[in-house]
Structures are given as C-alpha cells and as structure tokens.
Amino acid sequence: MTARVGVVTFPGSLDDRDAARAVRVAGAEPVSLWHGDADLKGVDAVVLPGGFSYGDYLRCGAIARFAPIMTELVPAARSGLLPVLGICNGFQILCESHLLPGALTRNSSRHFVCRDQLLRVEAADTAWTGSYSSGQEILIPLKSGEGSYVAGGETLAELEREGRVVARYVDSSPNGSQNDIAGITNEHRNVVGLMPHPEHAVEALTGPSVDGLGFFTSVLARLADGAPLAAATG
Amino acid sequence: MARVIVDVMLKPEILDPQGQAIVGACGRLGFPGVTQVRQGKRFEVELEGEADEAKLAEVRKLAETLLANPVIEDFTLRVE
C-alpha cells in the first residue's frame, strides 16, 4: 500500500507544493492538510514545510504552534508514533511547539542566507535519515533569515550525548548556529527539524543535487518496516 | 479598564544581531559613546475591569505561553 504523507499548509507557507512534489517523487502519496482543520486525515507521516506561517508575526512559528492542526499533530508526534519532518519554518514551529528543544534566532550575520549548502549527516538512525550513512555529506539549499540554532548548555550537551544532532553545516556555520547545528531530532527519533531544504533537491532539473530525496525515501522505508517507532526505539 | 505592560527581552546570553546593528548605526550617526544596545518588545495588554491578582496571573500565563519564548527570552509585567 502506498504510504500517505501529509503536508500542512499554513497561511504564509511557501514550500508546501515542493514538499508535496518531493513526497511524490519519493514514491508516496502526498496529502494536503489545512492548518485550520484539526484533522490529520489518517496520514502515516507529516511534513511541516518552509515559509512564513502567519507572517512570522511575534516570532517565527509562534502563532502556527496554536493552529487547530497542531492540536492533533503534537500528541501524535510526542508519543513517538507519527513521523514529522519540519523544514525551515517547520523546524521553527517544532521548536515553538516544544516537540524539539531550543529555538531558532536571527542569523548572526543579520543577512538572509540563500545558497546551496553542504551538510554532514550525523544521525542516520532517525525516521527521516535512514537512507543516509552517518558522516555522509549532502548538498541542499539553505534559505533563511532566522536559522541560528540556540539551546541552553545542558540541552546542547544532551543532544550531543544522545546523538540527536541530525545534520551539521560543513566548514563553518552560515548563520551562527551553536555547534554548527543544521538539524536535530527528539528522543524517539520520529520528529526531525532541519533548517536547509531537502525538498528543493530531489530532481536534477531544479536542484543542486538529488541529495534531499533521502529524507523522503527514509520515512517510506521506515513506514514499510511497519514497526511502531516508539516501540522500535524504546 | 486596566493596562498591563509586558516587556520581553532576549536573555543576556542570547546574541542580539538587531541590537548590534543599532550600535553600528549609532557610531555612524555621531553617537560614539553607545557601547551596547539590546532590542526587545513591549506589549500593551488591555483588560476589562481592574487588574487584580487573578487577572495578572492570566497575563503572566499569556506571556509565558505566547508573548515570550522562555527558551530564549525573559519577560517582566507591570500595571500601568
């Protein structure tokens, strides 16, 4: 049976169409989810796409966190059962929702950064990174103004100790992120937040590589295994 | 009607690039004595009736939940 992967559209989402396309290219059926409906439509996994949800008023992701769809998504994600990938603004929403620790703040350079960015995958054991190998370098677009990851010292130490840094910027951090962090995961490893955009690197025609496709094929492989994530990871 | 002011500031250890940009502008504009600027947000929350303890507790909850992100920001509350 084809896996169904939901893509949430908030007012101000930009990359929902590309995310849905990436899901399709990976071999799954994309399902449009609406921020205002408290209904996940029975999907097997969810992508929170990039953009500027609710205009990013107050703080990035701060209003989106309280959208009706999130009342369904948050408990399912927290339980470890529902795989969720938050990209860029989606990462910010996951942090504001406390599904992931820390916060994303303004780039230290004060400039919006838009470029193809080399990343090193550090954790290949999450629901979204099983298709990669640990240490693999991938090239995908980065485009954000508030991508600087910050967390308290204890939280940062815990992320490092538990191998929950999913990807790091290679060479130097383009935005001032602590420990060059580009993405992290939760304790069940079903929720992943990533600042760069894998959905823009799934086809040679439009992307700098097809390195981003692995995030989407990873979750399909995980779903095909059929093992509940929480049980599989303890 | 009561008005409660909520001031939100980035925690001291969090880098404030906007504040740094303002310091840079101060130098160029002929205010060389300015050594640091931290930029924050001020919310004016208007309430029905008097700002009693129960209402202030509600605003405090609002500040913790929505107006500030306690991971990176501190806030203070006062009745105006």
- Cβ contact B15–A95 (<8 Å): no
Domain that holds residue B31: 2-79
* pLDDT tens sequence across A98-133: 999 999 999 999 999 999 999 999 999 999 999 999
The number of domains in chain A is 1
Is the distance from CB of B17 to CB of A108 less than 8 angstroms? yes
* pLDDT tens sequence across B11-35: 999 999 999 999 999 999 999 899 9
Domain that holds residue A89: 4-233
For residue A50, give the nearest of A98, A99, A7, A3 by alpha carbon: A7
Report the CATH number that the domain containing residue A33 is assigned in CATH. 3.40.50.880
Assess B18–A contact: CB distance below 8 Å, yes or no. yes
The number of domains in chain B is 1
Asked if the model's pLDDT at residue A179 lies above 60, the reply is yes
Check residue A39 and give its pLDDT.
97
Is the distance from CB of A20 to CB of A32 less than 8 angstroms? yes
* pLDDT tens sequence across B40-50: 999 999 999 89
In total, the C-beta contacts within 8 angstroms joining chain A to chain B are 35
- Cβ contact B17–A95 (<8 Å): no
Partners of residue A148 in chain B, C-beta under 8 Å: 15
% of chain A at pLDDT higher than 90: 94
Sequence-distant (≥ 6) Cβ neighbours of residue A226 within 8 angstroms: none
Tell me which residues of A are annotated as active site.
88, 197, 199
Report the CATH number that the domain containing residue B60 is assigned in CATH. 3.30.1280.10
ipTM of the complex: 0.87
Say how far apart CA A101 and CA A182 lie, in whole Å.
13
Say how far apart CA B9 and CA B40 lie, in whole Å.
5
For residue A190, give the nearest of A229, A223, A135 by alpha carbon: A229
Q: What mean pLDDT value characterizes chain A?
A: 95
